């Protein structure tokens, strides 16, 4: 419980710090993805801007383009392609006080528009002051395509300080129109967001795992904290 409270405090804090830098300048990475609308490969550029603690994803479709800005992120660990239609980007954090985190996001294209299909904490580790592992959690993501449906297989693993490990598999479906991975679709009722924001009574996507609960509301991803949902 102490680790979880510290984890949420760190996520909330880093989302408020605008001057936090891990590297300087801008770096571009270019990849190609299959667009869901026509199955043609399109170029997508990942533009890193660590001076402002953000990255940009920019797609190019003939004479038009689209961009998506990802804020409050730290340095990139890995960038890989999944099913030729998704880009997975892993962001690495050092949470301080013996906490290490990794956030993973999946992006895809439809009609040249960029969608953030999934955003999850895929690694959480806590250590004592003398460097002894107290708790370790990691989440493996695999995508499968069957009967014209795309499914994300999410495997949770957790190890305690005694070396005991539990493991659980969950399958979540990609919504064919909104391109969001979800467990359930629900109407907004009495949810509390950590940053006050106008709320409309529209459907949101819920993704429930054993350790964490996530939701996608109005195109943005949130994780359930102790008292409110925190944007990630």
Cα 186 to Cα 191, 202, 217: the distances in Å are 11, 8, 10
pLDDT at position 197, please?
A: 75
pLDDT at position 96, please?
A: 65
Q: Is residue 80 part of a domain?
A: yes
pLDDT at position 114, please?
A: 95
pLDDT at position 53, please?
A: 75
pLDDT at position 200, please?
A: 80
Q: Supply the DSSP string of 89-120, one letter for each residue.
A: EEEEEEEETTEEEEEEEEEEEETTEEEEEEEE
Q: Is residue 171 part of a domain?
A: yes
pLDDT at position 13, please?
A: 41
Cα 54 to Cα 19, 74, 75, 190, 194: the distances in Å are 11, 8, 9, 31, 20
Q: How many CB atoms lie within 10 A of CB 121?
A: 21
Please, are residues 58 and 109 in contact by the beta-carbon 8 Å criterion?
no
pLDDT at position 3, please?
A: 53
- Using DSSP's 3-state secondary structure scheme, residue 6 falls into helix
Print the domain residue range for 162. Answer: 2-176
pLDDT at position 21, please?
A: 31
* Structural domain total, the chain: 1
Q: Is residue 209 part of a domain?
A: no
Token pair for 156: 């949770």
Q: Is residue 101 part of a domain?
A: yes
Q: Is residue 181 part of a domain?
A: no
pTM of the predicted protein model: 0.84
Please list the ranges in the chain whose pLDDT falls under 50.
Answer: 2, 6, 9-10, 12-26
Q: Is residue 39 part of a domain?
A: yes
Percent of the chain at pLDDT exceeding 70: 86
pLDDT at position 95, please?
A: 62
- CB-based contacts of 164, cutoff 8 Å, min separation 6: none
pLDDT at position 61, please?
A: 75
Q: Is residue 109 part of a domain?
A: yes
Q: Is residue 55 part of a domain?
A: yes
| Tokens 């370790």 -> residue | 136
- How far is 86 from 107, CA to CA, in rounded Å? 5
- How far is 119 from 71, CA to CA, in rounded Å? 13
Cα 145 to Cα 15, 151, 152, 188: the distances in Å are 34, 6, 9, 30
């Amino acid at each position: 419980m102490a680790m979880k409270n510290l984890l949420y405090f760190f996520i909330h804090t880093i989302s408020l710090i605008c001057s936090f830098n891990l590297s300087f300048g801008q770096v571009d990475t270019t990849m190609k993805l299959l667009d869901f609308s026509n199955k043609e490969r399109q170029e997508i550029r990942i533009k890193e801007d660590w001076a402002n603690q953000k990255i940009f994803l920019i797609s190019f479709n003939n004479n038009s383009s689209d961009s998506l800005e990802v804020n409050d992120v730290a340095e990139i660990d890995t960038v890989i392609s999944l099913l030729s239609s998704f880009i997975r980007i892993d962001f690495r954090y050092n949470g301080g006080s013996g906490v290490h985190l990794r956030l993973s996001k999946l992006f895809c294209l439809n009609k040249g528009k960029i969608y953030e299909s999934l955003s999850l904490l895929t690694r959480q580790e806590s250590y004592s002051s003398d460097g002894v592992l107290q708790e370790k959690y990691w989440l493996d993501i695999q995508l499968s395509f069957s009967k014209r449906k795309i499914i994300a297989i999410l495997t949770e693993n957790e190890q305690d300080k005694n070396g005991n490990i539990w493991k659980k598999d969950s399958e979540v479906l990609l919504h064919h129109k909104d391109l969001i991975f979800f467990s359930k679709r629900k109407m907004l009722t009495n949810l509390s967001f950590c940053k006050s924001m106008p709320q409309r009574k529209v459907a949101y996507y819920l993704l429930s795992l054993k350790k964490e609960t996530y939701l996608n509301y109005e195109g943005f991803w949130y994780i359930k904290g102790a008292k409110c949902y925190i944007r990630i």
